[in-house]
Amino acid sequence: MQTNRFKKSFGGREKFFTKKSQKTKKNLYVGDCVVRAIAHATKKPYKEVWDQLMDLSKKTLQMPNEEINYSSYLKSIGWQKQKPFRNPNNKTIRVAHFPAEPRGKYIISTRNHLTSIVNRVHLDTWDCGGYRANSFWIKK
């Protein structure tokens, strides 16, 4: 069974919050998983993704990290939502064992979290590899 390697990454967020401006490391662990996952998978700068989600949020009156908002954004930049992969017991596959292609880019929805896998490397601020990979997004 394939395992995706985990690599801690803040997706560019750390550029805006220097260590001096943080009282604790916990300040980097905030509810910006949507921005980070999209920035990782699309290779867009963190601030660009942030701005585009905020602009869309102003039009939809939905919070930037709500599924209705980021789904619309991802569709607008050519990404398609896919149904989850299932194992022989009909359970969804864990993020760590997600069948990623060697050069694939994926944005994966788990329960209340978005993460990304790029080139079989799981990029996030923390290892959610044990979470079930529900729906996911791929670039078409």
Average pLDDT over residues 12-17: 68
pLDDT at 28 over 60: no
Q: What angle do CA 109, 115, 118 make, to 5 degrees?
A: 115
Over residues 58-88, the pLDDT tens digits come to: 999 999 999 999 999 999 999 999 999 999 9
pLDDT at 7 over 70: yes
Which pTM value belongs to this model?
0.87
State residue 12's pLDDT score.
Answer: 75
State residue 9's pLDDT score.
Answer: 82
Yes or no: say if 28 and 14 are a contact pair by the CB < 8 Å rule. yes
pLDDT band at 4 (very low <50, low <70, confident <90, very high): confident
Instruction: Choose among 124, 119, 115, 73: nearest CA to 134.
Output: 115
